[in-house]
Structure 1
Amino acid sequence: MIFVVALAMAANGPLIIAHRGASGERPEHTIGAYALAIDQGADFIEPDLVSTKDGVLVARHENEISETTDVASHPEFADRKRTKTIDGQSLTGWFTEDFTLAELKTLRAKERLPQLRPANTTYDGQWDIPTLDEVIALVKRREQETGRRIGLYPETKHPSYFRALGLPLEETLVATLARAGYDGAEDPVFIQSFEVDNLKRLNGMTELPLIQLMASAYGPPDQPGVTYAAMSTAEGLGAIAHYADGVGLEKAMVVPRSADGKLAAPTRIVTDAHAAGLKVHVWTFRRENYFLPADFKAGASPVATGDVGAEIRAFVATGIDGLFSDNVAEAVAAAR
């Protein structure tokens, strides 16, 4: 697989990937968040994908939706509240796989982090839960309006869990993208996952570029006993290159923080990944003090806006190929 189109879109710097849309300024995974991200110059927008009861892919960061919708205020759905174990974690709430698309469309999206982003709560209730088809339609429309190519960066969320329910994500995703004209190695789409086997499955189903997501702790939910730390060695990255085209790395894997919370020296992982033929995309850059290293905080309030641009520039200097940000305008200004 190759990256000709994707790389051409960001010849003057790393790809800017709008994390759940412009989620620093609008409720995440809404048409409003995606549209604003496009207007602010994102190269790619990121819809995390889960399934409805009737097999439709919708954009939510998790299949448990009480934090991002008003489902709890709908008395007609009170009996849908469940406790489930997903990827080893017990969760209580309302889950997309227990709702048809028509039922989910009666809900309204809300801000997930109201304590940190109170301004975003003014947009609560303005948008519903979008389907993947609706996100694609927005991208196509904005491409027509702007004359520039806009990429999609979908993530399959809990794919093993959904497959066990008889609601596999991979086949539906590949078919939906193909209908929209996305099926070749040069098309502006990356498909990402924290799991391994579903990326291997996708590697046999599509020529679209694939990204292995990795975190500084834990390991792939579908690979008991395997850690992301082991996968991040030179040998591990070489193994990833057999089924994926890049890695999506948590920031701490690229530039860790010291004991005082400041940025420390970069690791070798960007160099090692490039040596294995893998692209490196890093997540997630956010402007609130709560998320920033101590070097770049502004005052003591966790809600205050710090210097995320300086943080981004420190990571760009390591040679990364792309970055995820909740704040697209700041990312574009810092990285280009």
Structure 2
Amino acid sequence: MRSLMSLTCVLGVIAGGAAGAAPVEVGVRPQFLIRQIRNPDLKAKLEACLDRPLERKLFSIAHRGAPLQFAEHTAESYVAAHRMGAGIQECDVAFTKDKKLVCRHAQNDLHTTTNILGTPLAAKCTKPFTPAEGDKPASAECRTSDITLAEFKTLTGKMDAADTKATNVADYMNGTARWRTDLYAAAGGTLMTHAEYIAMGRKMGVKFTPELKTPSVAMPYEGWTQEQYAQAMIDEYKAAGVPAADVFAQSFRLADVLYWIKAEPEFGKQAVYLDDRDETDKAFDPMNAATFKPSMKELKAQGVNYIAPSMPLLVTVENGKIVPSTYAKEAKAAGLNIITWSLERSGPLQKGGGYYYKSINSVVNNDGVIYEVVDVLAREVGVVGIFSDWPATVTFYANCMGLK
């Protein structure tokens, strides 16, 4: 009941004005990043925009809301992202035991993104909490498919984290990274169904990018096939009267994208193939087009119009400068629209940026690199949107550079 009341209040606040009419605020972070930029021309260009009025931008895509500081996939996180000017909001779509669609990054992440381990529902988890012992880390696995929708709605969201050195549940749940914060999540975030996310987005006046998550359970699930799951997600937009042009359905499974292209051609036009072949194919090399199987031209021939790789697949370093990769050039040459993920998910960049900067780590040594990367992605790679854990950063850049 607490979650339902919270969501009602949040929707009421949004509905208080015209759709999308809330003023855009980006706070002090863009200025903080700009001060550290090494490229003097880029720095001067962005500094000149600091006092300009801002508007919402489709180029700015909220990655699970604003999870740099808010509990991901919660109403509070989505509202924060909306205020930061995100023109597109993401809901990662998983399903519950009774086959209802909800917003969670993975079907099996409730133990790190909600308070489930501190509730009686912990008894229903696929794998109960096991404390750390010696060299063995603490662990648990709680799936959305372990509980019903009604049970899911009794939970609250928290920052996605776990302390694997913990010997008790309370410490395990209290693992937020030092560079994030519990300041806006301590009271618990309001969990969302996919339908509630759609209703909220319509009131906000934003577009949608739902991601069909790869199930943790074997499919078919109690007779429910992968295709039925993919269709169920699209059906909730149709039921809500959302135009296909406002929806960018995503999946890491190319088969899901091809299903939408065939079964729901209007939605399929904007279906997004999330490309993680650098993680799943040992032969894949973003600097060698011969390793792209299928190739960019083959993807386009199958009807794929949007491709979304992680940032490091799109950039490399040549003569000390950040430049487009072979992957980026091939995708652009094939006529694919490129979206990328995820900005501001790496923490401070004083000593490199880990996974999201792995292809350019040699030139990453301060947070100003964030805008240097965004600039290359926008101007040289030609991406049409960037996912960020703090949408204000991308919103500011898009406004300054006159992007949509």
Give the TM-score range, shorter chain: 0.7 to 0.9
Q: Work out the CA distance in 2 between the residues paired with 1:107 and 1:12.
A: 31
Structure 1 residue 283: Cα displacement: 0.9
Which amino acid counterpart does residue 248 of structure 1 have in structure 2? A
Aligned to 1:72: 117
Aligned to 1:315: 377
Considering only aligned residues, what root-mean-square deviation do their CA atoms show, in Å?
3.1
1:278 corresponds to which of 336, 339, 342: 336
Q: Work out the CA distance in 2 between the residues paired with 1:321 and 1:216.
A: 21
Structure 1 residue 231: Cα displacement: 8.9
Secondary structure of the corresponding residue to residue 387 of structure 2: strand
Q: Work out the CA distance in 2 between the residues paired with 1:63 and 1:101.
A: 13
Q: Work out the CA distance in 2 between the residues paired with 1:251 and 1:239.
A: 22
Q: Work out the CA distance in 1 between the residues paired with 2:252 and 2:340.
A: 13
1:137 to 2:199 alignment: yes
Cα 1:111–1:273 change in 2 (3 A) is same
Structure with the greater alpha carbon radius of gyration: 2
2:275 corresponds to which of 193, 214, 226: 214
Q: Work out the CA distance in 1 between the residues paired with 2:316 and 2:283.
A: 21
2:387 corresponds to which of 320, 324, 336: 324
Q: How does 1:131-210 map to 2 (within 5 A)?
A: 131-143=193-205, 150-158=206-214, 161=217, 163-165=219-221, 166-167=223-224, 168=226, 169-184=229-244, 187-206=245-264, 207-208=266-267, 209-210=270-271
**Residue identity (%):** 24
Secondary structure of the corresponding residue to residue 94 of structure 2: strand
Q: Work out the CA distance in 2 between the residues paired with 1:179 and 1:30.
A: 22
Aligned pair count reads 299
Structure 1 residue 179: Cα displacement: 1.1
Aligned to 1:302: none
Aligned to 1:29: 73
Are the aligned partners of 2:90 and 2:208 in contact in 1 as well (CA < 8 Å)?
A: yes
Aligned to 1:251: 311
Secondary structure of the corresponding residue to residue 16 of structure 1: strand
Structure 2 runs not aligned, ≥5 long: 1-54, 129-138, 162-175, 400-404
Are the aligned partners of 2:211 and 2:250 in contact in 1 as well (CA < 8 Å)?
A: yes
2:97 corresponds to which of 53, 73, 93: 53
Which amino acid counterpart does residue 180 of structure 1 have in structure 2? A
Cα 1:60–1:228 change in 2 (3 A) is farther
Q: Which runs of 4+ in 1 moved over 6 A?
A: 11-14
Deviations 1:241-271 (A, max 9, x none): 213211001111111368xxx8643213333
Secondary structure of the corresponding residue to residue 238 of structure 2: helix
Superposition TM-score, scaled by structure 1 size: 0.79
Cα 1:234–1:199 change in 2 (3 A) is closer
Structure 1 residue 40: Cα displacement: 0.9
Cα 1:100–1:14 change in 2 (3 A) is closer
1:20 to 2:80 alignment: no
Secondary structure of the corresponding residue to residue 279 of structure 2: coil
Structure 1 residue 124: Cα displacement: 3.2
Which amino acid counterpart does residue 192 of structure 2 have in structure 1? P
Aligned to 1:111: 159
Structure 1 residue 160: Cα displacement: 8.7
Superposition TM-score, scaled by structure 2 size: 0.66
Are the aligned partners of 2:126 and 2:141 in contact in 1 as well (CA < 8 Å)?
A: yes
Aligned to 1:93: 141
Are the aligned partners of 2:252 and 2:273 in contact in 1 as well (CA < 8 Å)?
A: yes
